[in-house]
Amino acid sequence: MSPLRSRYAITPSVRKEVRKQVKRTPKVALIDRPLTRQQEKFCMELVYKDGQITLREAAQNAGYAMKSAHVRASELTNPDKYPHVVKRIHELRAEVDAKYGVNYHRHQRELYRIREQALGAGAYSAAVQAEKARGQAEGSIYIAKSEVRHGTIDSMDRDQVLKALDEIKNSYDPVTYGNGDTGGRRRTKTRERLLEADQIESAEEVDRDEAGDVGDEGGAGSDAVRSDGESASD
């Protein structure tokens, strides 16, 4: 070996020491590995344009080849292969939710701002709607009530229909005839008057029928007398 080569040659002892130092160097976990520029761009495209573009389009916008964009997007969103990329996506989404998310106090402030702008512009209807929305968001001012009924009259038998009709009639009785015992007495008197009127009308009809029968009998008797007189004269 020439003196020049021996000067830069690495002895076995030095090589062994270098290998030991390399082994002591801690390896960075994959989830803590920094992202490349393309990976960072992919995460931003995917989060900030959520619902507007697909995974493939996000990969293409990040600079990946068009032919392999779909495969690259699938790999980058796989936590087993690229956990650091998935972690960054979750971080960006948390930032967006914190910035644009809806909570009670922010909702109240926005509705108040909308109401004031509507009042300033003379849009009183919009101002009223904004104030109503604030009241609904508060939860104790407006109470919504709803009643859900199941089944139809077609699915009821005769007894159930009659019972339902009685309930409807009883519910409208106080409105029509009054309340309490007074309403009951009024209904009784009304029925009695109607019955008396029916009885009087029936009696008058009977009298008229009897009078008609008497007249018919009298006419028949005079005709018989007349026929007998004519026979005697003959």
C-alpha 194/C-alpha 187 separation (Å) is 11
35-49, 99-113, 157-171, 194-208, range with greatest mean pLDDT = 35-49
Looking at the predicted structure, is the pLDDT value of residue 179 above 60? no
Looking at the predicted structure, is the pLDDT value of residue 32 above 80? yes
Looking at the predicted structure, is the pLDDT value of residue 127 above 50? yes
The answer for residues whose C-beta is within 8 angstroms of residue 46's C-beta and 6 or more apart is 53, 55, 58, 77, 89
Each residue of 187-213: pLDDT tens digit? Answer: 666 667 767 776 777 667 666 666 665
HSE-CB of 77 using CA atoms within 13 angstroms: 16
pLDDT for position 156: 73
**Per-chain mean pLDDT for the chain:** 75
Looking at the predicted structure, is the pLDDT value of residue 41 above 90? yes
CATH (one of 1.20.140, 1.10.10, 1.10.3470, 3.40.1620) for 30-100: 1.10.10
Fill in the amino acid letter for 152.
T
Each residue of 130-140: pLDDT tens digit? Answer: 877 877 776 66
Q: Considering the entire predicted model, what is its pTM? A: 0.44
pLDDT for position 216: 54
Query: DSSP readout, 21-72?
Result: HHHHSPPPPGGGSPPPHHHHHHHHHHHHTTTTS-HHHHHHHTT--TTTHHHH
Task: With CA atoms as reference, report the closest residue to 127 among 137, 136, 116, 138.
Answer: 116
Task: With CA atoms as reference, report the closest residue to 45 among 32, 35, 56.
Answer: 56
C-alpha 109/C-alpha 139 separation (Å) is 16
Percent of residues, the chain, with pLDDT higher than 70: 60
pLDDT for position 124: 81
Each residue of 223-234: pLDDT tens digit? Answer: 544 555 554 444
Q: Write out the two tokens for 37.
A: 């520029």
pLDDT for position 232: 46
Range scoring the smallest mean pLDDT among 12-21, 110-119, 171-180: 171-180
Q: Which residue has the higher pLDDT, 75 or 28?
A: 75
| Mean pLDDT confidence for 137-144 | 66
Q: Which residue has the higher pLDDT, 79 or 104?
A: 79
Each residue of 150-167: pLDDT tens digit? Answer: 666 667 777 887 888 788
